Amino acid sequence: MASSVTPTPLLKDELDIVIPTIRNLDFLEMWRPFFQPYHLIIVQDGDPSKVIKVPEGFDYELYNRNDINKILGPKSSCISFKDSACRCFGYMVSKKKYIFTIDDDCFVAKDPSGNDINALEQHIKNLLSPSTPFFFNTLYDPYREGADFVRGYPFSLCEGVPTAVSHGLWLNIPDYDAPTQLVKPRERNTRFVDAVLTIPKGTLFPMCGMNLAFDRELIGPAMYFGLMGDGQPIGRYDDMWAGWCMKVICDHLGLGVKTGLPYIWHSKASNPFVNLKKEYKGIYWQEELIPFFQGATLPKECTTAQSCYKELSKQVKAKLGKVDDYFNKLADAMLTWIEAWDELNPSTQLPDGK
Ligand SMILES: O=c1ccn([C@@H]2O[C@H](COP(=O)(O)OP(=O)(O)O[C@H]3O[C@@H](CO)[C@H](O)[C@H]3O)[C@@H](O)[C@H]2O)c(=O)[nH]1
Ligand SMILES: [Mn+2]
């Protein structure tokens, strides 16, 4: 007889969903079948006196700017205001092993067969299966049903490494920078590519924060989204900065980063002129930032995300401080972030604070 017991959703009590928002969260209605069993951490940006409406039936905690200031005190200076970068506060206060973060203008996409895509389920599959950063498998994810390692793949590498990050993609509005948005205002991503790839060791990538999951215990301390938004010279480089720091640290620690499935449906194109103002310094700074991250090496004594991140902060100050004083402030904020992280997560600290 078929069992009438509904299966417990995967990682139900080990994963938090983090949502940065400035608006009511009606978008959750479409995600209800997939998200309702999970705990939400809502990071309310902007005016803390505004009331954010959350649909009935969701288990959540909500933090506004007053809460962040109260919890972190002076250390709240490292959490951005009036920028989606504020989402990283949710990573810090979570007590779970896994995080999935999604923007409130991202909806359930359909696969080519017309089925709703459970993005959370796919991220969990990505995180729970190994990555292959040391040798590229040409048939994509070898651990996926119906695939495997191809001929010539060294057996010594078939075990793979733990996956730290799962980077999902977007149908409809692609995550383009402002110049590209201006040149191609009507371009929509209609291409569903049925693949999950490990990003090879030594290769950086532009990490987008709108459909992203990660192992908080492996790499959480490196997922700081930087100083963006109000009072800062740059915006919309929050996830990029985090992605570059994270990838250097994952490569050093032998952890994997995947990109590809799942897709979400990104519904709202943000204003390209506003975005250009936020991005423009980043567009030329990144020509110096990328070589810095490509050349960054971490000492073997750095064996935890915290110690790697503190070392990276020193190198940011030493090598990027001359690009712009902003990077001196960012390097300091990186240390404040780690101090705040360790304060809120004492159990993750090694005895010597390494
Ligand atoms: O000041 C703000 C503005 C927005 N938010 C919340 O952040 C996400 C993303 O906002 P939005 O969808 O309007 O912006 P996009 O340009 O599409 O976002 C992309 O830019 C990236 C860089 O920040 C971001 O990760 C991408 O998704 C929504 O949930 C807003 O409610 C905010 O908190 N504060
Ligand atoms: Mn958006």
**Tens of pLDDT along 235-264?**
999 999 999 999 999 999 999 999 999 999
Ligand nearest 24 Cα, by number? Answer: 1
Distance CA 243, CA 223 (A): 8
Token pair for residue 309? 């991140």
Most informative mutation of 64, 103, 177 for ligand 1 (most atoms within 8 A of CB): 103
C-alpha 286/C-alpha 212 separation (Å) is 22
As beta bridge partners, residue 15 has 98
Give residue 354's pLDDT: 47
| 270 Cβ below 6 A of ligand 1 | yes
The minimum-distance atom of ligand 1 relative to the CA of 106 is 12
Q: What is the pLDDT of residues 168-195, one digit of tens each?
A: 999 999 999 999 999 999 999 999 999 9
Give residue 4's pLDDT: 72
Token reading at 29: 């209605």
Is residue 37 within 8 Å of 12, Cβ to Cβ?
yes
Residue type, 261: L
Confidence at residue 5, expressed as pLDDT on a 0 to 100 scale: 74
Q: What is the pLDDT of residue 81?
A: 98
User: What pLDDT does 106 receive?
Assistant: 98
Q: What is the pTM of this model?
A: 0.96
Distance CA 273, CA 279 (A): 10
ipTM: 0.96
Residue closest by Cα to atom 5 of ligand 1: 84
What pLDDT score was predicted for residue 349? Answer: 58
Is 314 touching ligand 1 by the criterion CB < 6 Å? no
Residue of 13, 31, 45 whose CA lies nearest to 107: 31
- Ranges of residues in the chain with a pLDDT under 70 are 1-3, 348-354
- Rounded CA-CA distance 48/65 in Å is 6
Please indicate whether residue 86, judged by its CB atom, sits closer than 6 Å to ligand 1.
yes
pLDDT at 8: 79
- The whole-number pLDDT of residue 102 equals 98
